[in-house]
Amino acid sequence: MADRDVVVAQLRKTFGDNLRDLEVRLSKRDRAEMHRTTDEEGVAPSVGSAPDGELPDRSVIPGVTQASDDARQVAVADGARALRKVMSGHEDELSPEEQVGLEAIIVLEGRPPLFIQHGDFLRVPDEWEVLNSNRAQIRSSIARVGRIEATGHPTLDWIGTGFLAGPDAIITNRHVAREFARADRGGWRFQSGMSARLDFNEEFGALDPLEFQITGIVGVHEKHDLAVLSVAATGGSGAALPEPLTVAARQPGQVVNRDIYVIGYPAWDGRRNDPAYMRQIFSDIFNVKRLQPGRITAFADGQDVFIHDCSTLGGNSGSPVFDLETHAVVGLHFGGRYLVGNNAVPLWRLTGDALLEAGGVNFG
C-alpha cells in the first residue's frame, strides 16, 4: 500500500478544486447503481451491440460485469468515505480499506484503464468525457497497437506491447526485444529456437487472433529503452498491415499537463505494484488491450524522458503514448512507479536518429 500522504496528494493533484463535484457524482452513481437493471439475459450490452452512432450503454463487457461492478462498489463505499474525510481535514483517520478505496477512485475516475472490445473503448467517467469526442481517431490508434508474443521462450508466452510505426516496422522497448533477440556480429538476430509475432486482437473475449510475424530485428538502441523490429506485411489470416501511426516530429506545444493516452496490455505486476490496487482497478483481469488516459506531469527541455500518470503496469512496456489533441505518438512508455509516475522516451527528439530512420519510422 502506498503512503497515505502520497495518496492524498495524488487525489488533490488529479482532481484539483473539483473534490466536491467528485463526491456528488459518486453519491449519485451509488444511488443509480442500486436501481440499475440489465437486459433480459442479465448482462449489459457489449460495444458491438450499440446502434450505429450511439455509445455503448455501460462500462462493462459480457463476462466482466460482476468483476467490474464489485470493484466499483468497493471503490464507491470505501473511497467515498475516505474522500469525505479528506475534504473535512481528517485524512489522518483513513483506515487501510478507505485508503485502498481512495486509490481506486483516483484511478477509476481520474486515470481509468478502459476495456477495449471490437476495436473500440467503453464508456468513460465524466473526468474523461473528451475521449468520446475523439472516438474515431482513438479507434484508429487502437488498430495499430499489438501484443508481442513469443514462441520458444522458456517462461513467457508474451513479452510486451508494440506499435506499427513504419510501413513494415514496429517500435517496442529494448528490454522487450532482448527477451528473444541477441547481438550478433554487429547486428541483432533471434535467439536460437525462438520467434515472435504481433497480435492486434488480444482483447478481452477475443477468439480470433490478428497476427503478423516479426521477421527480424532492425536494431536495439544503445541509449534509449527502444528497439525497432521488422514485421511481415501480411498476416496469417491474409490480412494486410494498416497504415502506420504518425510519430510526432516536433515537440507538441506545452508538454506538461498535456492530455495523452496510452494503449497497451497491462499485466499482473505484484513486484512493483500493490496487489489490492491492481485487483481493484483492473477487475482482476490482465493481459488484454486497454486504453489508459492521463497527462504528462513533468518534462524539461534537453531531457530524454518525460513523466506521465496513465495507469500502466508491466505489460505496457513498449506502449505508444499518444497526444490527445493530434493523436500522433509523442512517446514510448518504458516503466514507472505506482502513484509516483511513469517514464516515456520523447520520440520527437529522435527525428534524425539512425535506427528510426533505418526502420522507416513515419515522422509527421
Domain with CATH 2.40.10.120 in the chain: 131-364
Is the pLDDT at 246 greater than 90? The verdict is yes
Amino acid at 258: R
What does the pLDDT read at residue 295?
95
Using a 10 angstrom Cβ sphere, with 0-12 exposed, 13-18 middle and 19 or more buried, the burial of residue 177 is: buried
Cβ contact 6:274 at 8 Å? no
User: Within 10 A of 76 (CB to CB), how many other CB atoms are there?
Assistant: 20
Higher pLDDT among residues 186 and 37, named by residue: 186
Cβ contact 205:61 at 8 Å? yes
Higher pLDDT among residues 236 and 193, named by residue: 193
- Mean pLDDT value of segment 209-214: 97
131-364 folds as: Thrombin, subunit H (2.40.10)
Higher pLDDT among residues 3 and 201, named by residue: 201
β-strands 195-199, 120-121 pairing: unpaired
Cβ contact 203:61 at 8 Å? no
- Mean pLDDT value of segment 188-200: 97
Between helix 80-87 and helix 96-105 the angle, nearest 10°, is 90
- Backbone φ and ψ for 171, nearest 5 degrees, come out as -110, 140
Cell 477509476 sits on residue: 108
Please tell me the total number of residues recorded for the chain in this structure.
364
Amino acid at 325: E
Is the pLDDT at 49 greater than 50? The verdict is no
Q: Which of 272, 257, 246, 285 is nearest to 340 (CA)?
A: 272
If DSSP codes are grouped into helix, strand and coil, which group holds residue 116? strand
What does the pLDDT read at residue 77?
79
Q: Which of 258, 284, 256 is nearest to 270 (CA)?
A: 284
Is the pLDDT at 192 greater than 70? The verdict is yes
- In whole angstroms, what is the distance from residue 352 CA to residue 324 CA? 24
Model confidence pTM above 0.95: no
Cβ contact 227:168 at 8 Å? no
Cell 501484443 sits on residue: 147
261's CB contacts (< 8 A; 6+ apart) are 131, 138, 141, 291, 292, 293, 294, 310, 321, 322, 324
What does the pLDDT read at residue 39?
44
What does the pLDDT read at residue 27?
80
Q: What digits encode the pLDDT tens for the residues 151-177?
A: 999 999 999 999 999 999 999 999 999
What does the pLDDT read at residue 91?
93
Amino acid at 291: L
- Mean pLDDT value of segment 275-300: 86
Most confident of 83-92, 117-126, 140-149: 140-149
Is the pLDDT at 62 greater than 80? The verdict is no
What does the pLDDT read at residue 32?
66
What does the pLDDT read at residue 271?
63
Cβ contact 312:336 at 8 Å? yes
What does the pLDDT read at residue 227?
98
Q: What percent of the chain has pLDDT over 70?
A: 83
If DSSP codes are grouped into helix, strand and coil, which group holds residue 206? coil
Question: Mean of the per-residue pLDDT values for the chain?
Answer: 86
- In whole angstroms, what is the distance from residue 78 CA to residue 100 CA? 8
Is the pLDDT at 146 greater than 70? The verdict is yes
Using a 10 angstrom Cβ sphere, with 0-12 exposed, 13-18 middle and 19 or more buried, the burial of residue 70 is: middle
- Point out the least confidently predicted range of 110-114, 320-324, 342-346: 110-114
Q: What digits encode the pLDDT tens for the residues 79-114?
A: 889 999 999 999 999 998 888 788 888 888 888 999
- Point out the least confidently predicted range of 47-56, 193-202, 218-227, 262-271: 47-56
Q: Which of 158, 133, 128 is nearest to 59 (CA)?
A: 128
Q: For residue 343, give the H/E element and its range.
A: strand 341-346
- Mean pLDDT value of segment 36-45: 40
